[in-house]
């Protein structure tokens, strides 16, 4: 079974407050995006990097020749769709390069689930108590909550169909699995609990935390 990985790196990293895209920041002896890049190159059959126009010249110099490259869009969804159009294989892994700490076990579990499921959602447990911030301040039952992270995975045909519909209807979704579920509510989805280390580097404190653990993933 063959897998294409779409590695998203076409954001601006505004919440990091640096003058460059956060995924190009140094972490140990490489850049943030290179951690997930090399794991995906090792465990999947094709990697497509989705890069912004701004970063293209710098990034292209750092990529091994077998990596495919395409330009991202204004939203994360547009960036995913651009990557999907270049995918060669039927099984797709979509990953945020801002989550550098992918591990081998997770990628192996995903590979197994592609045999049985149409899509795969990875998640972290919810550590906080969550309220709806409305007049009633209803508390949500934490045992029933999960936090969606990436990798998010699906069959190429389903993802492309769903993304085309979303474009037609001018709808945006905050992640890929919710987009798939909106158009294909009955497909078989597996959920895999991932390590807390797969957190997303979003603000400066996340970057500081990453500096403490990168060696485990070098
Ligand atoms: N991403 C992308 N194309 C976009 C927006 C985001 O490929 N138009 C990617 C980012 O590079 C990141 C991942 O999607 O790896 C998750 O997005 P996020 O953490 O929000 O990153 P940024 O959008 O870059 O950060 P911010 O929202 O703070 O500007
Ligand atoms: Mg963003």
Dihedral, CA of residue 157, residue 105, residue 2 and residue 59, to nearest 10: 80
What number is the average pLDDT over the span 185-208? 98
19 and 27 in contact (C-beta within 8 Å)?
Answer: no
Span 37-50, pLDDT tens digits: 999 999 999 999 99
Ligand 1 binding pocket mutation candidate from 74, 98, 99, 102 (most atoms within 8 A of CB): 98
C-alpha to C-alpha distance for 27 and 23, rounded to whole angstroms:
9
71, 56 contact by CB (below 8 A): yes
Closest CA to 27 of 99, 95, 104, 79: 99
CA distance 55 to 79: 14
Neighbours of ion ligand 2 (CB under 5 A): 11
pLDDT at 27: 98
**Alpha carbon distances (Å) from 11 to 24, 106, 122, 153, 193:** 11, 25, 21, 20, 26
Per-residue confidence (pLDDT) for residue 140, from 0 to 100: 94
| Per-residue model confidence as pLDDT tens digits over 147-161 | 999 999 999 999 999
Average pLDDT over residues 133-146: 92
Pocket test for ligand 1, best of 76, 83, 94, 147 (most atoms within 8 A of CB): 76
Burial of 14 (0-12, 13-18, 19+ CB in 10 A): exposed
Q: How far is the CA of 135 from the centre of ligand 1 (A)?
A: 32
Q: Set out the domains of the chain in order of their start, with CATH numbers.
A: 3-217 (3.90.550.10)
Percent of the chain with pLDDT over 70: 100
**Ligand 1 atom nearest to CA at 21:** 24
Report d(CA 35, CA 3) in Å as an integer: 18
Name the token pair of 83.
């990557």
Ligand 1 within 6 A of CB of 32: no
Q: What is the pLDDT of residue 171?
A: 95
Whether residue 52 has its Cβ less than 6 Å from ligand 1: no
pLDDT tens, position by position, 75-109: 999 999 999 999 999 999 999 999 999 999 999 99
CA 83 to CA 94: how far, in whole Å?
9
**Residue-wise DSSP of 109-145:** HHHHHTTT-SEEEEEEE--S--B--STT-PBP-GGG-
pLDDT at 151: 98
Q: How confident is the model at residue 165 (pLDDT cuts 50, 70, 90)?
A: very high
Whole-number pLDDT of residue 86: 98
Per-residue pLDDT, averaged over 7-32, amounts to 98
**Residue percentage of the chain with pLDDT more than 90:** 98
pLDDT band with cut points at 50, 70 and 90 for residue 126:
very high
Strands of 68-71's sheet, edge to edge? Answer: 68-71, 46-51, 3-9, 91-96, 146-155, 119-125, 189-193
The residue whose two tokens read 């987009």 is 179
Average pLDDT, the chain: 97
Single out the residue of 20, 11, 110, 114 nearest to residue 58, CA to CA. Answer: 20
Residue 95 CB–ligand 1 contact under 6 Å: no
The 10s digit of each residue's pLDDT in 43-71 is 999 999 999 999 999 999 999 999 999 99
């Amino acid at each position: 079974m063959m897998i294409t990985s779409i590695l998203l790196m076409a954001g601006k990293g505004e919440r990091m407050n640096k003058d460059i895209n956060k995924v190009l920041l140094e972490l140990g002896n490489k850049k943030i995006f290179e951690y997930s890049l090399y794991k995906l190159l090792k465990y999947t059959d094709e990697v497509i990097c989705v890069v912004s126009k701004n970063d293209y010249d710098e990034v292209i110099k750092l990529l091994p020749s077998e990596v495919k490259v395409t330009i991202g869009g204004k939203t994360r969804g547009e960036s995913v769709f651009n990557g999907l159009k270049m995918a060669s294989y039927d099984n797709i892994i979509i990953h945020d390069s801002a989550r550098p700490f992918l591990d081998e076990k997770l990628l192996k579990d995903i590979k197994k689930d592609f045999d049985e499921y149409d899509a795969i959602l990875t998640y972290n447990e919810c550590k906080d108590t969550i309220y709806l911030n409305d007049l009633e301040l209803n508390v949500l039952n934490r045992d029933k909550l999960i936090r969606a992270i990436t990798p998010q995975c699906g069959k190429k045909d389903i993802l492309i169909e769903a993304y085309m519909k979303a474009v037609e209807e001018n709808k945006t979704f905050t992640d890929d699995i919710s987009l798939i579920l909106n158009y294909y509510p009955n497909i078989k989805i597996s959920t895999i609990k991932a390590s807390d280390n797969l957190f997303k580097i979003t603000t400066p404190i996340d970057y500081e935390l990453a500096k403490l653990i990168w060696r485990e993933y070098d």
